Chain A
Amino acid sequence: MTSEAEIEQTSVSTIKVQSFSTDLTSLFRQPKGVVEYGWPPIQIQYLGEYLGQLGCRSIVVESHYIDRDYIDDVALFYSRSLRGYPNFCQRMHFFAAELNDEGIRNMLREAARDHPSGLSRIESELQRSYLGYSVIRPLPGSPIGRTVLKTFGPESKEGFQRNFSATRKYRVHLCGLALEVTGLAFQQQDRGVSACATTALWCALHKVAPMEELRLVTPAEITEAASRYFLPGGRALPSEGLTVEQLCEATRAAGLAPLHVRATSYLGDRAQLLTYLSSGFAPVLAIKTPGGEGHAICAVGYKLGTVDPQGEADLVYRDGATALKGLYVHDDRLGPYASADLLARTQPDGKKIKTELRIRWPQQPVEFEQSLLVSLIVPVPSKLRLSAYRMRELGLGVAQWTGTVIPGVAREVVLNCRFQKGTTYKRLAYSFGLTDEGAYALVSELNLSRYVGVIELLHGDRPLFDVLLDSTETTANPAVLACVRRSAMPDASKNQFNKMAEILGGRPIW
C-alpha cells in the first residue's frame, strides 16, 4: 500500500550540482536484463560529446520535473503498463561555468537578500554560461526527453557559414530564476508512443507552430492524429513508424499545411532545402538508409560555402542554392544538430544524380551514415500557398533576364529565394537606402501578404533588387506585388528597372 510519506515524496524536489564529463553514462541507470539496442544508448554518448564541444563544465540536476510531453505519453501509454512508470522526470541544466552545490546555495541566498538587483545579477551571471537543458525520462533505454541546447558558432571548421535558422528562444526556469536558450527541441524516440517520424515532426512543429501562435502538440498527440484515419502498418501503439501520408495528416491536425516535396535532382533538392530553411521553416526529411529502411530527421540549420560559377555557356546568372554544402539535423538515432554533408550521388544507371546525406558526429570527420533523400515534408502556415518551386521557376527566368539586360552584371547575378513575414520585410526595408518616396510607398502604401515570397537578385554578394510575391497565390506569375531596388542596382538602370517591374506586374519601388 502506498504510504502518505511516499505520496508526499513526489512533491519534494532537490537541486544537485555535478561536474561535467563527456561520459554521461554514470548519470543514467542501466536497465535490467539484456538491453535490446545496447548500453549506453548512442544518444547519451552523442549528448556528452556535443556538450563537451560546447564547453560544458557543470550540470545542475532538478530531481523532480513534470514534462508536458512525457506526461502525455504516460497518460496515453505508460499508465496502462504493469510496471509503475513515474509521471515525473529529472531535468539537467548545462553550464559552461564551474558550479557547485554551495555556490548555487549562495547565489539563491544573494538573490533573495538583495532583491531585486541581486536577482537580476544572479540571473545574468548564470545566463552567461547557460548551454541549455535536457529532460531525463524514467524510460529504460530511451531516457533522453525534450532537450534544448545552444548551437555551435557562426563558422564551421571547414570555413562554411553556419545558419541555425529553424531555432527559437526558449524561456527556462530554474529555482525561480528565468534563463533563456536559443535552439530547437530534440528528443529520442521511445518506441512506445513515438518513432522517428513522430519525433522529427514534433521538432519541426516546435519551430513553426509558435510562428503562427498555435499551441505545441505533444508526441502522443502527433501519433494519435497520424493514426486517426490511416493505419497502413497495423496498430498505432506501440508506434512502428509512420508513413509520409500519416505525417501529412498529423501536420494538418496541428493547424498547419503539410507541403510534400519529392526529391528530384541534386540542385533542385538543395534549392528547396535552402528556400524553406532560410525562411525559418524546419523541413522533415524522409531518407532511405543504406539498408533500404525509411527514416525521418528534422533539418534545423544549414552550411553555406561560396556560390558556384555558372556551368552552362548560355546562362548568365549563378544559382545561390549551389552554396548549400550541408545541413544540421535533429536525428533521433544520434542527437541534436548532427552535421549532414550534402553530396551528389550518381545512380547505378548513370543517368540520375540523387542527393546524399552524410551524417556525422559533432565537429568530427567520423561518419555515422550515408543516406539518400527521398522527400521533404515542410509544415507551413496554411495561407502560404505559393511553393518554393513556383517562386524559383519565376526567379530563374528573372535572374537570366537580369544578367542579360542590366549592364555589367552578366554571369555575376546570384539568385536566392525565400519566404519572409511581410511585417519583417517592411521593417528591414528601412535599411535599404530607398528614396523618401520609395520607402514611404513600400512601408505605408503597399499591402503585403502575411508571408511574402522574396526573389533576391544580387551582384556577387551585394543586393541588386528584390521581387516580392504574394504567397497567398498559387502561381508566381500573377503574384508579383513589387520590385524593390537595393543598394547595388546602378542608378543608370532606373528606367529599365521600372519597366521590368511593370512587365512582371508589380510596383517599382526605387
Chain B
Amino acid sequence: MTSEKSNKNVPARPRSESPATEYSDEKALREALERARNKVKPITVRETESDTTSEEALHFRLKGQ
C-alpha cells in the first residue's frame, strides 16, 4: 500500500492541460466515464486473448526435470 507520507519522485506536471470545471455536473462526468471506458477497451480485449485454448492450458502437463 502506498504511504500517505511518500511524496518523493512526484513528476513535475504541466498544469495547462488540466480540465477545469467542465466536469462538475453529473451528466458530463457520466459521459466522461463512458468515453474513458471505451478508450481502454482495446487493452482489456487484448488481455483476454490467449493463443492457448482453455482446454489446452488445463491439460498442459507439468513435469519438471
Min CB distance B37 to A, Å, is 4
B30 to chain A, nearest CB (A): 6
| Interface hub of B20, B32, B33, B64 (most chain A Cβ within 10 A) | B64
Q: Do A243 and B54 touch across chains, with their CB atoms under 8 A apart? A: no
Residue from B11, B36, B46, B52 within 8 A of A404 (CB atoms)? B36
Identity of the chain B residue whose Cβ is nearest the Cβ of A409 in the assembled complex: B13
Task: Name B1-59 residues within 8 Å CB distance of A.
Answer: 1-2, 4, 6-11, 13, 15, 17-20, 23-24, 26, 29-30, 32-33, 35-37, 39-40, 43-44, 46-52, 54, 57-59
Q: Which of B8, B44, B48, B63 contacts A396 (CB 8 A)?
A: B44
B15–A460 CB distance below 8 A: no
Contact at B61–A461, with CB atoms within 8 Å? no
Asked whether A244 and B18 contact (CB < 8 A) given A263-B52, A333-B64, the answer is: no
A315 on the B face (CB < 8 A):
yes
Closest A residue to B1 using CB positions: A428
Contacts of B6 in A (CB 8 A): 461-462
Say which residue of A295, A412, A495 sits within 8 Å of B64 (CB atoms): A295
Other-chain contact of B57, A244, A410, A460, A488 (Cβ < 8 Å): A244
Complex Cα distance A263/B20, Å? 41
Given the complex of chains A and B, what is the CA–CA distance between A460 and B13 in angstroms? 10
Candidate in B10, B26, B40 with the most chain A CB atoms within 10 angstroms: B40
Across the interface, which residues of B come within 8 angstroms of A197, CB to CB?
Answer: 62-64
Q: Determine the distance from Cα of A398 to Cα of B17 in the docked complex, in whole angstroms.
A: 19
What CA separation (Å) do A333 and B65 show in the bound complex? 7
B residues less than 8 Å from A200 (CB atoms): 62
Task: Give the CA-CA distance A228 to B10 in the complex, in Å.
Answer: 54
Q: How far is the CB of B2 from chain A (nearest CB, A)?
A: 5
Q: Is the CB of B9 within 8 A of A460?
A: yes
CA distance A394 to B62 in the complex (A): 33
The number of chain A residues with a CB under 8 A from chain B is: 75
Please determine whether B11 and A248 come into contact, CB atoms closer than 8 angstroms.
no
In the complex the two chains form, what is the Cα distance from A294 to B62 in whole Å?
4
The reply to whether A400 and B7 form a contact with Cβ atoms under 8 Å apart is no
Q: Which residues of A contact B48 (CB under 8 A)?
A: 264, 389
Closest B residue to A408 by beta carbon equals B18
Q: What bracket does the count of chain B residues touching chain A fall in?
A: 35 or more
CB contacts between A and B, total, < 8 Å: 181
Q: Are B24 and A315 in contact (CB under 8 A)?
A: no
Q: Report B-chain residues with C-beta under 8 Å of the C-beta of A416.
A: 2
| A384-424 to B contact mask, C-beta < 8 Å, 1/0 | 00000100110011111100110111111000100010000
Q: List the one stretch of A67-75, A217-225, A265-273, A357-365 in contact with chain B.
A: A265-273
Find out whether the CB atom of B64 lies under 8 angstroms from the CB atom of A389.
Answer: no
**Does chain B have a CB within 8 A of A293?**
yes
Alpha-carbon distance A432/B1, docked complex (angstroms): 11
Give chain A nearest CB distance to B60 CB in angstroms.
5
Stretch at the interface among A77-85, A116-124, A438-446, A496-504: A496-504
Whether B13 lies near A408 (C-beta < 8 A) is yes
User: Chain A: which residue is nearest B54 at the CB level?
Assistant: A262
A374 touches B52 (CB 8 A): yes
The answer to whether B61 touches A401, judged by C-beta atoms less than 8 angstroms apart, is: no
Query: Among B15, B40, B54, B59, which residue has its beta carbon within 8 angstroms of that of A400?
Result: B40
Q: Determine the distance from Cα of A416 to Cα of B15 in the docked complex, in whole angstroms.
A: 24
Q: Which listed residue (A296, A405, A428, A502) contacts B62, Cβ 8 A?
A: A296
Q: Are B63 and A196 in contact (CB under 8 A)?
A: yes
- Whether B61 contacts A242 by the Cβ 8 Å rule is yes
A189 lies within 8 A of B61 (CB): no
| A490-B52 Cα distance, complex, nearest whole Å | 45
* Known contacts A286-B60, A400-B40, A487-B4; is-contact A264 B47 (Cβ 8 Å): yes
Judge whether B62 and A265 touch: CB under 8 Å. no
Q: Which residues of B contact A (CB under 8 A)?
A: 1-2, 4, 6-11, 13, 15, 17-20, 23-24, 26, 29-30, 32-33, 35-37, 39-40, 43-44, 46-52, 54, 57-65
> Could you jot down 10 A-B contacts, CB within 8 Å?
A265-B49, A374-B57, A375-B60, A397-B33, A410-B13, A458-B2, A460-B9, A460-B10, A461-B2, A462-B6
